[in-house]
Amino acid sequence: MKKSLLSMALAFISVFAWADEGMWLMTFIERLKYSDWEKEGLNLTPEEIYSINSASLKDAIVQFGGYCTGEMISDQGLLLTNHHCGYGVIAELSTEENDYLKDGYWAYDKSQELKPESLYVRYLVRMDDATDRILKVLNPNMTEAERSEAIRAEFQKIENENNEDGKYVVEVKSFYGGNEFYYFVYQDYTDVRFVGAPPSSIGKYGGDTDNWEWPRHTGDFSLFRVYADRDGNPAAYSENNVPLKPKHALPVKVSGVKPGDFSMTIGYPGSTERYMSSYGIEQAINVEYPTWVEAANTAMVQMKKHMDKSDAIRLKYASQYSSLANYWKNRIGMIEALNKLNTVDKKRGYEADFRAWAKRNPAYSEVLNNIEKYYSNSNDFVKNRTYIVRGFLRGSQLSLAPYRVLNMYNVYAEQSAENKTNMLPKIKEEINSMYEGMEINAELDIMTALLKGYDQNIPVEHQIEQIKYIKENYGGFDGFAREVKSKSIYTSADKVIAAFETDNKGALVGDILAPFSNSLIETYRNKPEEIALLETVYNKNYRLFIDGLRKTYPNRVFYPDANFTMRLSTGKVIGLPEHPFRASDTPENYYTTLKGGMAKFMPGDEQFDQPLKLIKLYNQKDFGRWANEKGELPVNFLSDNDITGGNSGSPVIGGNGELIGLAFDGNWEAMSGDIEFEKNLQRTINVDIRYVLFIIDKFAGATNLIDELELVE
């Protein structure tokens, strides 16, 4: 029997029914907590938030570049997102002569907007339930492999039925560990141009020191514009394209916020694990996260050493370093918060209730025992794999270069002579692009440090064979690095290209670096048989655990973990109990001002320098119309919306559907939030939209952009 919309909708409410917890799928708004949201200050109808047939808030929200969120803020395709979301694009467009990361950039008319090599935004067209359809092709007697294949085949059918011959991108995703399924229809636009961003001394103010901390004083925003053909359809870059007229653009509220104001975020949260077992958390705290921190830090230290040598190297590694540093500090905070907040004990409490229920339901009696067995037997595998992924694969471009090049060559080698000739210019372009992001001396130091770190942290019996081979045949890792520098063709784009031009497969495959590179990928992709078997058992039991947990608490209803699908969260503007060493510059402690930012100012400091023009505007109190009623210039504010990575750039929307801020961070006290929502501590740190407007208007003088906006009081 088909489930009622009400029963489907209720399945997405928080397991613990806590206010403001939950990342909601858009289609079930009316049947969730809509009446509660009305009482809290929401003045929009469900149709105004999500609609297939009429313009709604969903039509103003995009997935930005596949990893962040952005929002349309004008009827001329103007898009707002975080500075750190645009960081890689800004770095790509920068040169030593025109350093847009350091100095900022503003397009004072559309002809000055810059097209990056590759950037897209994704609009949600619609979503729908596929649970009943997929469950019909499954049966309890299937093995996990058979089940996965049946699901995959049905996914493909759904994608084919809804993509309209390639017009749309269709994704089918599982929820609750594979108990439910929904599909999402998207439309992608690839002509996206850079419009403007403040210098990093504003957009990244506070650097790694302030990252994940409150109080913040960061103008974390950047601007882009979406272009389409003259009919509004997606089109490859062309000078004939025109700014997209979106179905909906957010009006911008300039009168500010106060405690208790309704706040809503809509975006694409990436990944939460709110139903992780106590055993999984213990592995994360004791094995995975410490290894992650160690590996990332090892790469970062060497990267930073070379970045400090020249602006050219700094620009090459700016985006990669920023990403490593962000997650490095995040994992440090997660370890601290999960321990401090006794999250393992909380999970054990839920598991005790589950075990009591499972005694009356024999099909679930061994579920937690099987989950525990997976974690207790996978620690060494997880430690090894984490160091490879978070160290070598994320931190060492040179280590990956042979694998990437050989993939290109394998396709190239199968072509006819004529096709090879036609393909060669594109291959040269890709190889040159790859090596433009590398500085070989830096890469050799990063790789060597990671090899040493891997050897020190991973027991010999679990190391990949190539590590042992390198130690035995090159006199250690420094000797290997010297041999790579003097003999490997993968240290030079020209040498790699020459191998393609002469069709010299032997030079590519037989290179000193190739076996090591391939071994990293093989270890990442291929699991030992015993781990694969454990994972098969785990996947089935995790699915049963979530199913059983929902039955253990029949009067409580659950929302699904984040998985890069559009979600809505509601909350309110609210302060945070002050930390004695990190008090805000305002007594209310729910917002900060430029005064507080200036108090942190350290001339010449990489993290806390300030642009001279901003200092002048502050000293003159020249805030224009963007000051609050006290004459202060608000910078950041807090709300208790439930967000995670991927929500970066999400709009913070007031009760009338107006833009009041831009979400960009979480707070240190609740870094456990991806695993356990902490009602009293968890906060979203937002850029006040008035600070965004002030920077565009008074600092940049880009009044052409202000003129595009619909400003409301």
28-60: burial string, b at 16+ Cβ within 10 Å, e else: bbebbbbeebeebbbebebebbbbeeeebbbbb
Measured CA to CA in angstroms, residue 467 lies from 388, 452, 477, 480 at distances of 12, 10, 9, 10
Q: How far apart are CA 638 and CA 684, in angstroms?
A: 6
Q: Does 46 sit behind a cis peptide bond, omega within 30 degrees of 0 on the bond before it?
A: no
Q: Choosing from 99, 210, 220, 640, which is the catalytic residue?
A: 220
CB 184 within 8 A of CB 565: yes
Q: Choosing from 222, 517, 648, 650, which is the catalytic residue?
A: 648
CB 695 within 8 A of CB 611: no
Tell me the two tokens of residue 334.
């997660």
Q: Is 306 marked active-site?
A: no
Cα first-last separation, the chain: 49
Instruction: Please count the other Cβ atoms lying within 10 Å of the Cβ belonging to residue 96.
Output: 11
CB 127 within 8 A of CB 26: yes
Query: What are the φ/ψ torsions at residue 560 (nearest 5 degrees)?
Result: -85, 155
Contacts of residue 371, Cβ cutoff 8 Å, sequence gap at least 6: 277, 279, 280, 538, 541, 542, 545
CB 33 within 8 A of CB 578: no
**81 three-state secondary structure:** strand
Please identify which residue in the block is written with the tokens 């006819």: 416
Q: Is 220 marked active-site?
A: yes
Q: How far apart are CA 301 and CA 530, in angstroms?
A: 36
Measured CA to CA in angstroms, residue 383 lies from 81, 462, 707 at distances of 35, 9, 53
Q: Is 648 marked active-site?
A: yes
Q: Choosing from 14, 83, 84, 277, which is the catalytic residue?
A: 84
Q: How far apart are CA 674 and CA 270, in angstroms?
A: 10
Q: How far apart are CA 484 and CA 487, in angstroms?
A: 5
Tell me the two tokens of residue 441.
């001396």
**Range list of H helices, 264-396:** 278-283, 289-307, 311-340, 343-358, 367-377, 379-387, 394-395
Please identify which residue in the block is written with the tokens 């088909």: 2
**Range list of H helices, 559-697:** 594-599, 612-619, 689-694
Q: Which sequence positions are flagged as catalytic?
A: 84, 220, 648
